[in-house]
Chain A
Amino acid sequence: MYVEKDEKTISVTTTPRVPAWLTGLIPVLAIGLMLLLFTLVNPLAMFNNNLPPIENLAIDRIRVVENGFEVSVMNSGPQPVRIAQVIVDDAYWQFNVEPSGELPRFGRAVVTIPYQWIYAEPHRILLVTNTGLTFEGKVTIATLTPRPGLREFANYGLLGIYVGVIPVSLGLLWYPAMKRMRRKWLGFILALTVGLLVFLLVDTFLEVLETGAKLPGVFQGVPLALFAALLTWLAIMAVSAMQNRRNAAAGNVRAKGAFLATLIALSIGLHNFGEGLAVGAAFALGEAALGSFLVIGFILHNITEGIGIAAPLVSNRRSDEEPARAAPSLLTFSGLALLAGFPAVLGTWIGGFAFSPLLGTIFLGIGLGAIWQVIVEVTALLRRYAERENMHWVSWLNLAGFMLGLAIMYFTAFLVKF
């Protein structure tokens, strides 16, 4: 009878009564009820000891214009914030705020301050909220922020070409020489490429940490960048796997090298985007004098990247005796140079005219993931080589190549870091 029914019969009999879609809906309804309860009854009221509001204003950027400053600000705190006054260099100052001094959560505003700023001197701007809290923005070296005009656009584009496209192309010019090298030196070149990529990996990672930390807390900058890195890594793996299957089916060995070169170019391009951002921002800051030094530094620094891209293209010879296979077309080389170098142009544009810390962080994250996967792929190539040669892949020669790659990047970085 009733009591003697086993579980199985019960479940069998009850299932048809409650449709599956309804069982899925029950938790949703429960959540809704819970939210309703919290808004109506506020069971947490006892924790609210009349605490002051939590305010957080993030100053995105300060444009230095002819007659003063334009401060872009976002409310990154949990509550509305009212900008009540503005202090510039320890003096209350007139201002205007659009669209409103009252910023809702995630609300944005532009504060315009008429101010006789002093060329090449720092200025400090404090936004004072109605609770008296202050949020600081600094103009490190006051000089007119470039306005996006055609000429400026062209100039910043050229800058990107100097630091991105030209050095990568110069590096690629080593391709013919690399092609004539003895086979064992190819492993050396690949190891050198790994060294350079490891340097870029560390460098990009540190940039991710720093830019990410500068983002307003709500955006969770560092995790965001790391997720972007993770997704990029997985996406490239998926693409590689697909490409490998296709190449294997077609028995195309050369395509494999070209694909790897493309991957390297792409990941280096993402890294160069970050460098473009830095250079563009530097020039916008008016670092013209140090700028040319910086540019020469970047050219030397980035030439190695061209070698790295060319490495997998020469690596498909089976023996020293075998003649090098037909060289990739000029078009391929140009494409690779652009892929690795042109992002620097985009970077200088964005860095010079519209730096967005959020986008910057995401792009750096993507670069990080790409570089990681490229290291994995180039290392795999190196290992396959070594196996074919019956050598361990961590040979003294390869280790020397790896070290040389690191060393070149490290010491040329002296020209661009201070």
Chain B
Amino acid sequence: MNEQTNLEKTEISRRKLLQLGAAAGIAGLLAAGGPLINTVSGNGPDHNNPLTNPTLDENKGMGMSHGDNSGTVGDVDLTQFDPSQFLYNFDWGSETITESGQTVREWDVVALEREIEIAPGVFFPAWTYNGQVPGPTFRCREGDLLRFHFSNGSTHPHTIHFHGFHPPSMDGVEPIIQPGESFTYEFKARPFGVHPYHCHVMSLKKHIHKGLYGTLIIDPPQSRKPALEMIMVMNAFDTTFDNENEVYAVNTVAFHYARHPIQVKVGELVRVYVINMTEFDLINSFHLHASMFRLYRTGTNLEQFELTDTVIMGQGERAVLEFTLDDPGKYMFHAHQSEFTELGWMGFFEAVA
């Protein structure tokens, strides 16, 4: 109470008032003489945007069902990176089988500096694997021999550090791959589950949050049940370099799946590989509306699961989620940290009969 009064008092000293007038703007003549709602802002018209939509239906905000006006304006250039495609993009690499029957998978990975669009009209100077953030979702089966031919095409030293069983020499901590150099990471895929990979050069915070991360999915030998599968990498971007994130998302682009809901068939089994690569914030989470999912932590066990609608994950934590949507309509999903939700980490599944 005392504090409150002090605050008020501080804020209305005469000189402070002038200052407020200057800094915050307290009042003013009608600065905009013309009609308030007129031109399009952002990078293009958005039919969901009440401001650009001439019908001005107040319930047509970002697609958030609350009938408010939250969300970003416009859309990103989807020809550069389309999260709706990334969702289903599993890269099995080039496959060969040796005489002894060993399956070998190989990938070329190159570190590149790219400017990426993380929210409509907002660009971020990213460090990427293969020019995209998140990096490609590598997929294989337990026991496969994996070879990642990594070359560093950027101006900073980088590595790829995989989670999982492998010899320390293949751990991506040493050697550090200098610009222009190459290295091949080779190991057998185990255990099955969903695992992150990321650069492990110091400063770690910088190298990870700039975009050098992705997912390695190792399928169990006996495979999982057939399902509509998708990858969701929870990530965030600090655009002002103050170690706090301005944009949150799954798969990089703020509110992408709110603008472009993920299409699902009613009753169809959906499997989401979720991984938390958010930097600066200690935890992130996945929350599904109007349904519950079977949660397989780290995806390393096919039997034990928990039925829930919210899972909290620390940095690097991951899980496999399985669920069905039993009625047609839009099912929201988002971080259960409201702040992250409103800064971009929110989307919809749209179940159709």
Give residues in A with beta carbon < 8 Å to B. Answer: 52, 59-63, 70-72, 82-87, 90-101, 110, 112-116, 128-134, 137-141, 145-148, 206-207, 210-211, 214-215, 274-275, 277-282, 284-285, 287, 290, 294, 351-355, 357, 360, 416-418
Per-residue CB proximity of B151-170 to A under 8 Å, as 1/0?
A: 00000000000000000000
A145 and B22 contact, Cβ closer than 8 Å, known pairs A133-B239, A418-B10:
no
**Alpha-carbon distance A169/B295, docked complex (angstroms):** 79
Give residues in B with beta carbon < 8 Å to A. Answer: 8-15, 17-32, 34, 36-39, 41-43, 49-52, 61-62, 68-73, 118-125, 237, 239-240, 246-247, 254-255, 339, 342-344
* Contact yes or no, B19 A210, CB < 8 A: yes
Q: List 16 A-B contacts (CB under 8 A).
A: A59-B24, A61-B24, A62-B25, A63-B30, A84-B120, A90-B343, A100-B41, A114-B51, A128-B246, A131-B239, A132-B122, A132-B239, A137-B24, A278-B17, A281-B20, A355-B21
* Contact yes or no, A62 B24, CB < 8 A: yes
Of B10, B52, B342, most buried by chain A (CB within 10 Å of CB) is B342
Please tell me which one of the listed residues B19, B52, B71, B247 contacts residue A211 in the complex, with CB atoms under 8 A apart.
Answer: B19
Of A60, A99, A134, most buried by chain B (CB within 10 Å of CB) is A60
**Alpha-carbon distance A369/B90, docked complex (angstroms):** 73
**Alpha-carbon distance A262/B11, docked complex (angstroms):** 35
A70 and B36 contact, Cβ closer than 8 Å, known pairs A92-B343, A96-B51, A355-B26:
yes
* Contact yes or no, B49 A94, CB < 8 A: yes
**Alpha-carbon distance A72/B339, docked complex (angstroms):** 26
Distance in Å: Cβ of A120 to nearest Cβ of chain B: 10
* Contact yes or no, A101 B18, CB < 8 A: no
**Alpha-carbon distance A94/B49, docked complex (angstroms):** 7
A145 and B12 contact, Cβ closer than 8 Å, known pairs A85-B122, A91-B342:
no
* Contact yes or no, A353 B12, CB < 8 A: no
Q: What residues of chain A lie closer than 8 Å to B36, measured between beta carbons?
A: 70, 96, 98, 112
* Contact yes or no, A93 B69, CB < 8 A: yes
* Contact yes or no, A96 B343, CB < 8 A: no
Distance in Å: Cβ of A399 to nearest Cβ of chain B: 28
A351 and B27 contact, Cβ closer than 8 Å, known pairs A94-B71, A132-B246, A134-B239:
yes
Q: What residues of chain B lie closer than 8 Å to A417, measured between beta carbons?
A: 13-15
Given A92-B254, A94-B50, 13 new contacts (CB under 8 A): A61-B27, A63-B30, A70-B32, A72-B31, A112-B37, A114-B51, A139-B24, A275-B14, A281-B20, A285-B17, A290-B12, A354-B27, A357-B21
**Alpha-carbon distance A360/B120, docked complex (angstroms):** 38
* Contact yes or no, A211 B18, CB < 8 A: yes
**Alpha-carbon distance A100/B239, docked complex (angstroms):** 23
Task: With CB as the reference atom, state the residue of chain B lying closest to A125.
Answer: B24
Q: What residues of chain B lie closer than 8 Å to A294, measured between beta carbons?
A: 12
Distance in Å: Cβ of A197 to nearest Cβ of chain B: 18
A100 and B39 contact, Cβ closer than 8 Å, known pairs A281-B17, A281-B26:
yes
A82 and B32 contact, Cβ closer than 8 Å, known pairs A94-B69, A97-B39, A133-B239:
no
Of A90, A130, A284, most buried by chain B (CB within 10 Å of CB) is A130
